[in-house]
Structure 1
Amino acid sequence: MNEQIMQVSQRIKELREILDVDVAQLAEQVNVPVEEYLKYENGQVDIPVGVIYGVAGVLNVDPTVLLTGEAPRMSDYTIVRQGQGVSVERYKGYKFTSLAFNYIDRTLEPMIVDLDPDEKGAELVVHSGQEFNYVLEGKIAVVIGAKRFELEAGDSIFFNPTTPHGQRAIGGHARFLTIINE
């Protein structure tokens, strides 16, 4: 398993134990079966970003704490220079970079997502809020429930992420901006 994902898993487990939150209770609150949640917490499988944000909400911490081990510090504004966002490689071929990680109490999560082509279908996830994707480079397939859309650079989509959804690159590397409102 990716070193970065192992660190996130360890932070989640440690914080859950410090706060004395029961595994079954936390799994239920993030809408994940206990067996699956334990695999996330033990670093056996990749943790979907929606689960990371859900766990952060339940544990009452900013997701940045789980992703980096540090708390956000800015409350009026934050600037992220090119190449300086907090990057997490969820798995080979899928990396996201947080662009507002240092802003306290943010209600939006802007991220750049880099995708390499993958023969498998998009991994479907669910989370609360609303989601916006804007394709910066390449071409992506976006699956929302039973529907599949192909988007190219300059195209965008806004949707309800409580419906299972996922994205994958088509024909080469792709990059898109995603903004999630929790």
Structure 2
Amino acid sequence: MSSDKTELSRAGKTILTDTDVSRVVDRIAHQILEKTEGARDTVLFGIPTRGVPLAKRLAARIHAFEGIDVPVGILDVTLYRDDLRLKAARALGPTDVPPGGVDGHRVILVDDVLFSGRTVRAALDALGDLGRPSSVQLAVLVDRGHRELPIRADYVGKNIPTALSESVRVTLAEIDGTDEVKLYGSDA
């Protein structure tokens, strides 16, 4: 590999800029309004870490567009993951259920990157312990492919075909100080 490619691989290839991320969040918020009858009986649950600020942004944009307050919760999936034995121990995060719970509501799980589907499977298991939603949907900023489970997103900001050797890194201002999506790896 040439030194130029090595440097590019380390620096990453920018897929979404801060302006792009804002535009994508707006588009997903509009899609949610269209597909959910104006977000009626809808609750957003952010999956930590970056799904939480994304869920809050979606709720804020829905409010800005339609004046509708969509409840936002946090769904920690740590204890429901099937890779606990394979990775280093991680701290448990909070699960915060909005007033009114999930029973009978449409729940939209929000995450930054959809990859194998295993985090979403864990989220479905965790959600089942909180109650019985009327339906569950999934919103992601990036879908990079390579599913290991039969899971698909209902709302996708950007599809990014990747190689297994590549990685997608989402940074958000609330956590990282900037909004950006970058692709890293041998071909980036």
Where on the TM-score scale, by shorter chain, does this alignment land: which range?
A: under 0.3
TM-score calculated relative to the size of structure 1: 0.27
Who wins on radius of gyration, i.e. which is larger? 2
| Higher share of residues assigned strand | 1
TM-score calculated relative to the size of structure 2: 0.26
Higher RCO (C-alpha under 8 Å, 6+ residues apart): 2
